[in-house]
Structure 1
Amino acid sequence: MATKDPIHLDVGWGVMEKGIEKVKTILEGTKDEQFTSQEYMVNYTTIYNMCTQRQPHDYSDQLYDKYKKTFESYIASDVLPSLREKHDEFILIELLKRWPNHKIMIRWLSRFFHYLDRYYVARSSVPTLNEAGLTCFKHEVYKELNGKFTGAVLALIHQEREGDQIDRSLLKNVLDMFVEMGLGTMDCYEKDFEASMLQDTASYYSRKASKWILEDSCPDYMLKAEECLKREKDRVSHYLHSSSETKLLKEAQRELLTVYATQLLEKEHSGIQALLREDKVEDLSRMYRLFLRVEQGFGLEPVSNVFKQYVTNEGTALVKQAEDAAKDKKADKRDVVGLPEQVLVRKLIELHDKYLGYVNDCFQNHSLFHKALKEAFEVFCNKSVAGSSSAELLATFCENVLKNGGSEKLTDEAIEKTLEKVVMLLAFVSDKDLFAEFFRKKLARRLIYDKSADDDHVRSLLSKLKQQFGGQFTSKMEGMVTDMTLVKENQQHFAEYLRGNPRVHPGIDLTVTVLTTGFWPTYKSSDLNLPAEMVKCVEAFKGYYQTKTKHRKLTWINSLGNCNLMGKFDAKKIELILSPYQAAALLLFNGSDRLSYEEIKAQLNLSDDDVVRTLHSLSCAKYKILTKEPNSRTISPTDAFQFNSKFDDKMRRIKIPNPPVDEKKKVIEDVDKDRRYSIDASVVRIMKARKVLGYQQLVGECVEQLSKMFKPDVKAIKKRIEDLITRDYLERDKENPNLFMYLA
């Protein structure tokens, strides 16, 4: 069998050159030709045979080298000359003719040289034919002209930014070529194009922003900035690589927003303060959207800081307005109803509603603005007005709302909403325990005298307070409400007891309200000498109560409660509604026409303060049931009193009010006492857990624990620590006096 003669390199390459020339002809478009299958097989077979011949006729190395040189030759003779002579957009158009042609040429030659890819490339660890072809274009064309390509692309982008229409698909294809030149990486795109594009973007917007910030109002500037950022994002979606979006927007944002943030926000007639003042909701929303994107420290922080200061100023102005109105007692009756201090609470609720709406809607519920709103309200919600703390004002406001909806006569639904907002305001008050005590005093008075329009609202408020501040905050008040629910049942049982024991019936109607000592405020008990009729009532109830329990002690609070007496005056009989003190004092005159101050004091067995207050209400106030000698507006120990039989009134039933007692001092004293206990408990709790702790850490943890209810004074904590040391709960370290140890 005859052996086939080997194909020599020059002979075989001569065959291949014809095929390569035809590929060039097709690419240049000089002739309308196509490869036949026979021509394709001739080229493929020639390469195959030249690579599979025995040595020394295996020309794989030489053919791989000639493959690369074919591209280099074609680029030098046809591609580069056509690109070098063109500029601007035209060089890109030419590039988009040459680059696809180059890839077509790679595809055809890779088919002819396919056998090299299958065996030689893998065996010799050299780039694939496709990679080698792309590398030729990168080295010969891209490295020389990428600067011109980038310049042309940037010029078109600039034209588009200025409002001209450009061929976006042209840019998309050119930039895809930059990506492909990275051969699997983004190096070429990022270094040769993106870096220049970002620098160009920064310069462009720097020029624009410096002009707009001088010419435009804050809203107009933001409209332009937002539109620019939208267009840059749009630019990425149409022709830039997606990886450029974050970097591109960052450059634009820095020049448009970061650089001029302070100047923009503080524009005199159109900055954020003006937007807040004029309720420009849409512009505030746009400001939030824009500055949300800006880097930390220059974005939302300055916006929230200005917002916080503005709200602080608004609230402080309301407090000052209320303070001035309270001092002058000249509140405008056409615009406001009620006391200035109470109008203030209503206005603070409205202020919070307004700016909470801004936080939720304009600022998208962002935590930074919730924090700013909270800190702003904490500033002015802890200011006092006309000598009353914010805790007291809120407690009084709650009292008024619960009393038939206050002066506004609110509906049940409106009362619920108002109480909910009061609880929200209370969260900003540092002395929450003071509120609790003031409100407990007022609630106690209303529950005892049955002034509550609807106990459901009381329960609802307690539920809201409990949810917000914990069960300990409302436990005593809840106990008070529970006590009052048992009053009717208790009274019914007492009535049944009297019916079953007619001999102990006092002969007059008696209603007793039994209160649990731990739940209610502390009331001053006295050894009032009750009239015989009242003593009989007390004994009757004691007898009944002993049938229920023998383990509880009854303490009678004679300063509370009401008595109904029938006064027989010359003109007519008038029913008098009195306190037990007042009733006891008047009943003395059933047996005497004239009594001195000292005689009344001795018979009642009361302190001077109580006697003075009682006699003043009966002889110097609106209803003069007693006449006084000498006639004056003050009570003194030398006065003498007589029953005023000539007293008359158009009403047949009148209530004689007691002179008001200033309970504020007592409430504050009680709260201070409770705070001492709270500090003691907190210090012991911390030390029990930590065993050994430094002074600063102990004070810090104590403040943190107690700040939910009140803001403890560091001096008070120090004093309580010293007291705990004397009581052997703690001891100082002998070597380090600032170190404390817990004594079990």
Structure 2
Amino acid sequence: MKRKRAVPKPILFSEGWEVIEQGVTKMKRILEGLPEPPFTCEEYMKIYTRIHDMCIQRSPHDTTEKLYTKYKEVIMEYITSVVLPSLKDKHDEFLLRELVIRWSNHKVMSKWLSRFFSYLNRFFIKRNSLPSLDEVAFTCFRDQVYKETKGKVKDAVISLIDQERGGEQIDRGLLKNVIEIFVEIGTGKMDYYKNDFEEEMLKETASYYSRKASNWILIESFPDYMLKVEECLRKEKDRVVHYLHATSGPKLIEQVRHEVLCVYSSQLLENEKSGCCVLIQEHKVDDLSRMYKLFSKIDDGLCRISQIYKKHVTVEGTILVKKADDVASNKEAEKRVVVGLQEQTFVREVIELHDKNMPLVNDCFQNHTLFRKALKEAFEIFLNKTVAGSSTAELLVNYCDNILKKGGSEKHSDEAIEQILEKAVNLLGYIYDKDLFVEFYRKKLARRLLFDKSANEDYERSILTKLKQQNGAHFTSKLEGMVTDMTLARETQADFKEYLQCNPRTNPGIDLSVTVLTTGFWPSYRSSDFHLPFEMTKCIQAFTEFYPTKTNSRKLTWIYSLGTCNITAKFELQTIELIVTTYQAAVLLLFNDSNRLSYSEIMSQLNLVDDDVVRLLQSLCCLKYKILNKEPNINSISSDDVFAFNSKFTNKMRRIKIPLPIVDEKKKILEVVDKDRKYVVDACLIRIMKSRKVLNHQQLITECVEQLKVFKPDLKLIKKRIEDLINREYLERDSENLNLYRYLA
């Protein structure tokens, strides 16, 4: 027999609410700090169970909807009767403290009520797609309390921030709690924080720092102004850390930067007494680092500083150029003494200028691309000017030559020389005419190597390594070949001496030293059908017989203009050793057989041209050492002159060197470089057109300029070479578009 299950008695809403209300009342008393013991588990379960039982009753006794409505009424009633009255008459910091308390209590109340009514969340609210209990609670507080007080709260918070900026102590913990209300009230969104607080706070910040900056700019120097800016930014970042929301940080800092830096950037940087130029000139490292750090954060800040920096370096470099020009414009009599020294001084001062600026770029400006570019462009501007009538490439070569040759004007340690060479090579990076540098350097290197003037072969190889690293292997291939030739020449000379010892009949009886060079490596030297004296001819024959034993694949071409001789000259009062060139020695040896020789006789016997004969005779009878006498006795050489050995010549020295009149080789070098440039441009143009086949005029010129690294070509030269290639049928113009070129295979 089945038993019938007992049906529970329905709970009327009024009966059930009476139990719930007791719990709600107790909770309110606890929130208000009134004497009330905390909830026990039994009390909590009693309320939760009563709500549960009321919600599971079948219709018409189901009270779920009424409970949901009553939940909101409880919260609204508490806000209306307790919360709003407590906030009504409070202002400033008192209002903020009360709001923080009420918000905290509200969250506690919402938490406990949600627990009591949690059954509604699980079923009724989900089933009917209604706002959750937490949402209802937050909405009530937002609509009734937050919207009512947000204006006063915002003003109070901003007022406290202003007080702190003014140097007063404030309760940062209070501000943090209040600002969290602006954030939390949005339930996951930042709209309320941004619209109701942040926008106004940023406006007030801009206004505050605008007033401050307008005062600072009148009384502070640029460095002191930056210190104040740095301190302000530090304090604003500190505020973000301690109480503002993190999302406000970038906006706040940007606002401050705009008011204190962007608005006055031109006035600050261009300040005549303490601006950017003054800081650079006085090498204020800390201030420059601070300036870089501050202005790197504002739009176009670094670009403006880099332009000022470039202009400053350009001016300093141009002053050095003018200084060198002024020295060179002195009297002609002073030129030889002063200008040679000024070449060294100019390059040394440029190196010092570079050394002074590199720490600024690397450290103060953190090696930023803009400043590396500014330094490079500045040095390019003044280093590619003509200095004292010479190119900087030539002056740099002369400077290096003075360091590398024996008896240079400056003495340095090995380590110092390495550093100097490194700095000199760095300067070459700013010079456009690198091919000109190479040609001048080849001439100087040849003299050092051939006349044993090089101080140290290790230094020679060291600078070539540095040049190779900077400009590539093609740049130094000939120079390295010259140094290698000298090593091989010493081996050949040792073998020649051994050969003479083994073949005494071949020995000419004169100490002969021959340097065999590779034609392609060395500068071009003029060879001639010079008629050697008999004594010298024997030497040439001896080496000519020896050399095939070393190699059969090379042909010897004798360059007598590079030779030197040591001759013993017996005068009436003394015997002197003369150090002369091969040509000078040949002239003097003629007087072993003749007491007097005319100009024409000397020229015909030696088979030399007029220019060479004039220079040789000038060196022997018109300059410092008058080894020969001349009729008529005037300081010029003519074809009617007659010469005789000066047997009465005397000198304090037992050994003297007789120099030839100085010949300016610069013109010849420039001609060689100009000629080589035509070939280089031709090769570049053909290489481009061979790969592209068809190209318009402007594109061809642009690519040609980009590819030519060893010199900066003149556009007129490129155009002439294009026309020449067209005439030689390497290129042709398009019949329909004359601005278009085609490559002819």
Class of the TM-score when normalised by the shorter of the 2 chains:
over 0.9
User: What residue in structure 1 maps to residue 716 of structure 2?
Assistant: 715
Q: What pairs with 1:291-306 in structure 2 (closer than 5 Å)?
A: 291-295=295-299, 297=300, 299-306=301-308
Shift of 1:287: 1.0
Map Cα deviations across residues 549-572 of structure 1 (whole Å, 9 max, x no partner). Answer: 222211111100111111110011
Q: Secondary structure at the match of 2:742?
A: strand
Amino acid at match of 2:90: K
* 1:401 counterpart (391, 403, 420): 403
Name the count of aligned residue pairs: 739
Q: Comparing 95-104 with 267-276, which one deviates more in the overlay?
A: 267-276
CA contact (8 A) 2:236 2:252 kept: yes
RMSD: 1.7
Check 1:585–1:331 CA distance in 2 against 1; reply closer, same or farther (3 A cut): closer
User: What residue in structure 2 maps to residue 684 of structure 1?
Assistant: 686
Shift of 1:331: 14
User: What residue in structure 2 maps to residue 244 of structure 1?
Assistant: 248
Shift of 1:644: 0.5
User: What residue in structure 1 maps to residue 517 of structure 2?
Assistant: 515
User: What residue in structure 2 maps to residue 497 of structure 1?
Assistant: 499
Amino acid at match of 1:736: N
Q: Secondary structure at the match of 1:741?
A: strand
Q: Secondary structure at the match of 1:267?
A: coil
Q: Secondary structure at the match of 1:502?
A: coil
Amino acid at match of 1:276: I
Task: Work out the CA distance in 2 between the residues paired with 1:23 and 1:32.
Answer: 9
Task: Work out the CA distance in 2 between the residues paired with 1:391 and 1:640.
Answer: 44
* 1:198 counterpart (171, 194, 202): 202
Q: Comparing 404-413 with 45-54, which one deviates more in the overlay?
A: 404-413
Task: Work out the CA distance in 1 between the residues paired with 2:488 and 2:650.
Answer: 40
Shift of 1:404: 4.6
Map Cα deviations across residues 400-448 of structure 1 (whole Å, 9 max, x no partner). Answer: 0112584220111100000000111111111111111111110011101
User: What residue in structure 2 maps to residue 309 of structure 1?
Assistant: 311
Task: Work out the CA distance in 2 between the residues paired with 1:330 and 1:518.
Answer: 38
Task: Work out the CA distance in 2 between the residues paired with 1:2 and 1:11.
Answer: 21
Q: Secondary structure at the match of 1:555?
A: coil
Q: Secondary structure at the match of 1:611?
A: helix
Task: Work out the CA distance in 2 between the residues paired with 1:396 and 1:590.
Answer: 40
User: What residue in structure 1 maps to residue 294 of structure 2?
Assistant: 290
CA contact (8 A) 1:566 1:575 kept: yes
User: What residue in structure 2 maps to residue 606 of structure 1?
Assistant: 608
Task: Work out the CA distance in 2 between the residues paired with 1:617 and 1:127.
Answer: 113
Q: What pairs with 1:257-276 in structure 2 (closer than 5 Å)?
A: 257-276=261-280
Amino acid at match of 2:738: P
Q: Does 1:58 align with 2:59?
A: no
CA contact (8 A) 2:400 2:421 kept: yes
User: What residue in structure 2 maps to residue 321 of structure 1?
Assistant: 323
User: What residue in structure 1 maps to residue 471 of structure 2?
Assistant: 469
Task: Work out the CA distance in 1 between the residues paired with 2:329 and 2:355.
Answer: 28
Amino acid at match of 2:357: Y
CA contact (8 A) 2:343 2:398 kept: no
User: What residue in structure 2 maps to residue 693 of structure 1?
Assistant: 695
Q: Secondary structure at the match of 1:669?
A: helix
User: What residue in structure 2 maps to residue 617 of structure 1?
Assistant: 619
Amino acid at match of 1:728: E
Check 1:402–1:418 CA distance in 2 against 1; reply closer, same or farther (3 A cut): same
Task: Work out the CA distance in 2 between the residues paired with 1:609 and 1:592.
Answer: 23
Amino acid at match of 2:260: L
Shift of 1:114: 1.2
Amino acid at match of 2:661: P
User: What residue in structure 1 maps to residue 634 of structure 2?
Assistant: 632
Amino acid at match of 2:105: N
Shift of 1:330: 12
Amino acid at match of 2:19: V
Check 1:517–1:525 CA distance in 2 against 1; reply closer, same or farther (3 A cut): same
Map Cα deviations across residues 3-25 of structure 1 (whole Å, 9 max, x no partner). Answer: 10222223322322221121111
User: What residue in structure 1 maps to residue 485 of structure 2?
Assistant: 483
Map Cα deviations across residues 52-106 of structure 1 (whole Å, 9 max, x no partner). Answer: 1223333323322221222122112211222221111111111111000000001
User: What residue in structure 1 maps to residue 258 of structure 2?
Assistant: 254
In percent, how many aligned pairs have the same letter? 63
Q: What pairs with 1:531-610 in structure 2 (closer than 5 Å)?
A: 531-610=533-612
Q: Secondary structure at the match of 1:517?
A: coil
Task: Work out the CA distance in 2 between the residues paired with 1:564 and 1:181.
Answer: 104
Q: Secondary structure at the match of 1:559?
A: helix
Shift of 1:207: 0.7
Check 1:247–1:330 CA distance in 2 against 1; reply closer, same or farther (3 A cut): farther
Task: Work out the CA distance in 2 between the residues paired with 1:455 and 1:94.
Answer: 88
CA contact (8 A) 1:288 1:363 kept: yes
User: What residue in structure 2 maps to residue 216 of structure 1?
Assistant: 220
Map Cα deviations across residues 118-144 of structure 1 (whole Å, 9 max, x no partner). Answer: 222332333322222112211221122
User: What residue in structure 2 maps to residue 82 of structure 1?
Assistant: 86
Task: Work out the CA distance in 2 between the residues paired with 1:138 and 1:260.
Answer: 43
Q: Secondary structure at the match of 2:591?
A: helix
User: What residue in structure 2 maps to residue 177 of structure 1?
Assistant: 181
Q: Comparing 269-278 with 410-419, which one deviates more in the overlay?
A: 269-278
Q: Secondary structure at the match of 1:269?
A: coil
Residue segments in structure 1 that go unaligned for 5+ positions in a row: none
Q: Secondary structure at the match of 1:693?
A: strand
Task: Work out the CA distance in 2 between the residues paired with 1:434 and 1:337.
Answer: 20
Map Cα deviations across residues 321-357 of structure 1 (whole Å, 9 max, x no partner). Answer: 121122227999xxx9961121011011111111111
Q: What pairs with 1:370-449 in structure 2 (closer than 5 Å)?
A: 370-404=372-406, 406-449=408-451
Map Cα deviations across residues 211-236 of structure 1 (whole Å, 9 max, x no partner). Answer: 11011111111111111111111111
Q: What pairs with 1:644-683 in structure 2 (closer than 5 Å)?
A: 644-683=646-685
Q: Does 1:357 align with 2:326?
A: no
Q: Comparing 503-512 with 446-455, which one deviates more in the overlay?
A: 503-512
Task: Work out the CA distance in 2 between the residues paired with 1:633 and 1:141.
Answer: 114
CA contact (8 A) 1:733 1:739 kept: yes
Q: Secondary structure at the match of 2:409?
A: helix
CA contact (8 A) 1:325 1:331 kept: no
Q: Secondary structure at the match of 1:305?
A: helix
* 2:458 counterpart (441, 456, 459): 456
Q: Secondary structure at the match of 1:504?
A: coil
Q: Secondary structure at the match of 1:736?
A: coil
* 1:136 counterpart (129, 137, 140): 140
Q: Secondary structure at the match of 2:438?
A: helix
Q: Secondary structure at the match of 1:317?
A: helix
CA contact (8 A) 2:489 2:517 kept: no
Task: Work out the CA distance in 2 between the residues paired with 1:435 and 1:507.
Answer: 42
User: What residue in structure 1 maps to residue 33 of structure 2?
Assistant: 29
Shift of 1:278: 2.1
CA contact (8 A) 2:179 2:244 kept: yes
Amino acid at match of 2:716: K
Task: Work out the CA distance in 2 between the residues paired with 1:199 and 1:328.
Answer: 66
Task: Work out the CA distance in 1 between the residues paired with 2:71 and 2:55.
Answer: 13
Amino acid at match of 1:665: K
Q: Comparing 602-611 with 122-131, which one deviates more in the overlay?
A: 122-131
User: What residue in structure 2 maps to residue 154 of structure 1?
Assistant: 158
* 2:42 counterpart (38, 42, 55): 38
Q: Comparing 398-407 with 371-380, which one deviates more in the overlay?
A: 398-407
CA contact (8 A) 2:599 2:641 kept: yes
Check 1:679–1:541 CA distance in 2 against 1; reply closer, same or farther (3 A cut): same
Task: Work out the CA distance in 1 between the residues paired with 2:392 and 2:155.
Answer: 67
Q: Secondary structure at the match of 2:197?
A: helix
Map Cα deviations across residues 342-397 of structure 1 (whole Å, 9 max, x no partner). Answer: 10110111111111111122222222211111111111111222211000000000
